[in-house]
Amino acid sequence: MNKTARPVESASGTFHITDVYPSVDCGRFPVKRIMGEAVEVWADIYRDGHHVIAAALVWRHEADGDWRHAAMTLHSDDRWGGTFVPDRPGRYKFAIEAWTDEFASWRHRFEQKQKSSGDLTLDAIEGAGMLTQAQAGGPADAAVIIRQCEIYLQTGEAGALLAPELKEAMADSQFRPDLTRSQLFPLVADRPRARHGAWYQMFPRSQGKVPGAHGTFSDCIARLPDVAAMDFDVVLLTPIHPIGREHRKGRNNAATAQPGDPGSPYAIGSADGGHDAVHPELGTLEDFRAFVAACRAHDMEVALDFTPNCSPDHPWLKQHPQWFRHRPDGSMRPAEDRPQPDDVVDPDFTGEDAAALWQALRDVVLFWVDQGVRIFRIDNPHTRPLSFWEWLIREVQRHDPEVLFLAGSFERPKLMKGLAKLGFTQSYTYFAWRTLRSEIEQYLGELNSYPERDFFRPNFFVNTPDVLPFHLQSGESWMFKSRVALAATLSSSYGIYSGFELLEHAPIPGREDYLNPETYEIKVRDWEQPGNIKPYVAALNRIRRGNSALQQTNNLRFIGIEDGDVIGFVKQSVDQTNVIAAAVALSPDVRDIWLPLGDAMVRHGDARCPVTAVEDLVTGERHSLEWGGVRLHIDPKRDPARLLRCVGLKEPS
């Protein structure tokens, strides 16, 4: 039996439901959360008069027809809260319902009148009449209502109408003529990898062992034990598709390639195929599937670079010339305005046949999803229509809600945030250019503020094939360690581009670009060369895996340390049971610092306990707090980071 009335519009109804949290741009874009974790929802709910109000949270997965309900609780000043748990990945809608609890309102008035000792006969009859109009909320509620109604009719005692169990039964069973529902708010629930992971980016063709020889997927598989030994979660591959020959670039982005130059993997397409094909020198599609399976065997995922770039000899240019812009002489318009011919042509996303182009690109992504890829890094998405990405991400995630998208864009802040709002799971950040303590603290404060924390998930790459920050160009080991320690502990997702662990640092003079960039040539490395920091990276990633506080970004608090060249902070897990304190040096000098932790707390069961000791996550040593803190010695040339697990009062030693 339907116990609720048809919802009415808030503007014309009795109730006002305002200041709803969480929401992004008043519900235009979805909030991001993780499946299986409770979503807290808050709202101001009020109406005229002194009636008793009831409210509920309603939600459903977009694939479900029925709404689920959970009661909301009044806290103070008309602020109501409730929670729900998205139990599988995908897109959800949630809303808030409010109505007048007529029986509770009657009960409140009756109890107030009892204090004046007046005649309450008519009031009791009014309350009993409500019982006869109740709609069954369930067999147990119906039994309570019938029993209390019979007691009143037999005895005439109003006390039967004031029983606590009757109040609860009527709350779920009475008619709700003024039920008001808020607007619907969207939410995306992702799998846990959306929030945390350590990424390793590499060029597949550079994984061989013979100088000048093109690497294969078999060579990539042979490298996996080395990457897995560093405890990475995601292996990010640059494009693996056939590379165009027309206008191919040479070493160091030279306009003309020399014999043997492999070209840029971002110039996609040749007679061997396009975006749904594999570069022949890498191997076959079956070889790629074997690589995906090998990654899975090492507990790692494959992420694939995706870009709509087309080389001038991409098959689409002949098959679908209407998908591209042409110049007055009939030639294809290159992707960039340059005096010389370019190795890349951009599709026309707004042309007359744009719908077919969009669908073809979607089908490319779904093709690689069918090969086992569940993560895609989108190269420079800001250069294509934002509406395309919003559509593409929704289409792909409708097919498989576990697919994740990283926005590979270093652009204007609002544009980067706009990309995150419209659906990108994670985003590149400006971390590579934040080096001073004040800059880092300010930037993390921005990322952790509202509403950014509800839609922008940062991925702190310390370097990329296109970005060699100035602070790494000296090649100092302590600086590489400091930057990777900051990235790995401040952000729940971070990444390195291969060669970082070998301290590669040769730049084009005066620029933040690698000399002889791998984008235009094959590099063969000695992965065991002296001076590498692979054990250090591995230790960081193992610490991340073992401490859930480091698997999220938002629960972060910076600590005031007197030494301005040391940054200190505390992070806690979502359930507050794991708390990590860190101090990371930003300069190479040996120092002794005081790390104050006096107000840090750790949850044990239902209680939060003060921190009484810290355990060094590298050495295993335990130090008791004295005067609310701990003194630390930092030798950056050995290890610029001190990572400490906080121990609570009740935790056994």
Average pLDDT, whole number, for the chain? 92
- Structure-token pair, residue 300: 């790692």
Query: pLDDT value at position 8?
Result: 41
Strand segments, DSSP code E, in 324-439 are: 375-379, 404-408, 426-427
The model's confidence at residue 120, banded by pLDDT at 50, 70 and 90, is confident
The model's confidence at residue 336, banded by pLDDT at 50, 70 and 90, is low
State which H helix or E strand residue 646 sits in. strand 641-648
d(CA 221, CA 286) in angstroms, rounded, equals 13
Average pLDDT (33-57) is 94
Average pLDDT (104-109) is 81
Query: pLDDT value at position 10?
Result: 41
Higher model confidence: residue 649 or residue 320? Answer: 320
Tell me if 246 sits within 8 A of 318, measured CB to CB: no
HSE-CB of 341 using CA atoms within 13 angstroms: 15
Measured in residues, the chain has a length of 653
How much helix, strand and coil, in percent to the nearest 5, is found in the chain? 30, 25, 45
Tell me if 437 sits within 8 A of 416, measured CB to CB: no
Looking at 28-42, 132-146, 418-432, which range is the least confident one? 132-146
d(CA 204, CA 207) in angstroms, rounded, equals 6
Q: Is 612 exposed, middle or buried (0-12, 13-18, 19+ CB in 10 A)?
A: middle
Percent of the chain with pLDDT over 70: 96
Tell me if 586 sits within 8 A of 576, measured CB to CB: no
Tens of pLDDT, residue by residue over 564-610, are 999 999 999 999 999 999 999 999 999 999 999 988 899 988 888 99
Query: pLDDT value at position 176?
Result: 84
Looking at 192-206, 327-341, 593-607, 623-637, which range is the least confident one? 327-341
Upstream peptide bond of 385 is cis (omega within 30 degrees of 0): no
pLDDT at 1 over 50: no
Query: pLDDT value at position 9?
Result: 43
Tens of pLDDT, residue by residue over 514-533, are 999 999 999 999 999 999 99
Average pLDDT (404-411) is 96
Strand, coil or helix: what is 326? strand
pLDDT at 341 over 70: no
Higher model confidence: residue 156 or residue 485? Answer: 485
Average pLDDT (495-515) is 97
Tens of pLDDT, residue by residue over 3-19, are 444 444 444 468 999 99
d(CA 561, CA 430) in angstroms, rounded, equals 24
Closest listed residue to residue 99, CA positions, set 164, 195, 170: 170
Q: At which residue do the structure tokens 């503020």 appear? A: 449
Percent of the chain with pLDDT over 90: 78
Query: pLDDT value at position 653?
Result: 47
HSE-CB of 335 using CA atoms within 13 angstroms: 20
The domains of the chain, with CATH numbers, are 13-101+176-190 (2.60.40.10), 103-173 (1.20.58), 191-550 (3.20.20.80), 558-648 (2.60.40.1180)
- Structure-token pair, residue 453: 């924390």
Neighbour order of strands in the sheet with 426-427: 426-427, 404-408, 375-379, 301-306, 234-237, 197-202, 493-497, 460-461
Rounded to 10 degrees, what is the CA torsion of 630, 634, 639, 643?
Answer: 10
Tell me if 400 sits within 8 A of 371, measured CB to CB: no
Average pLDDT (307-336) is 87
DSSP 117: T
pLDDT at 340 over 60: no
d(CA 552, CA 573) in angstroms, rounded, equals 7
Query: pLDDT value at position 11?
Result: 41
pLDDT at 142 over 60: yes
Average pLDDT (91-119) is 85
Tell me if 537 sits within 8 A of 543, measured CB to CB: no
Tens of pLDDT, residue by residue over 445-463, are 999 999 999 999 999 999 9
Strand segments, DSSP code E, in 67-207 are: 68-71, 73-76, 79-84, 90-100, 180-181, 185-190, 197-202
Residue 260: φ, ψ to 5°: 95, -15
- Using alpha carbons, list the distances in angstroms from residue 107 to 158, 164, 165: 10, 10, 13
The model's confidence at residue 338, banded by pLDDT at 50, 70 and 90, is low
pLDDT at 333 over 80: no
d(CA 324, CA 29) in angstroms, rounded, equals 31
Q: At what angle do helices 164-171 and 139-155 cross, to 10 degrees?
A: 130
Query: pLDDT value at position 124?
Result: 82
Long-range contacts of 125-128 (CB under 8 A, 24+ apart): 127/103, 127/158, 127/161, 128/152, 128/153, 128/161
d(CA 162, CA 104) in angstroms, rounded, equals 10
Tell me if 579 sits within 8 A of 570, measured CB to CB: yes
Higher model confidence: residue 602 or residue 337? Answer: 602
Rounded to 10 degrees, what is the CA torsion of 257, 262, 264, 266?
Answer: 140
Tell me if 263 sits within 8 A of 243, measured CB to CB: yes
Query: pLDDT value at position 248?
Result: 94
Q: Is 81 exposed, middle or buried (0-12, 13-18, 19+ CB in 10 A)?
A: middle
- Using alpha carbons, list the distances in angstroms from residue 473 to 251, 313, 514: 21, 37, 9
The model's confidence at residue 280, banded by pLDDT at 50, 70 and 90, is very high
Query: pLDDT value at position 6?
Result: 46
d(CA 505, CA 527) in angstroms, rounded, equals 15
Closest listed residue to residue 400, CA positions, set 195, 93, 240, 190: 190
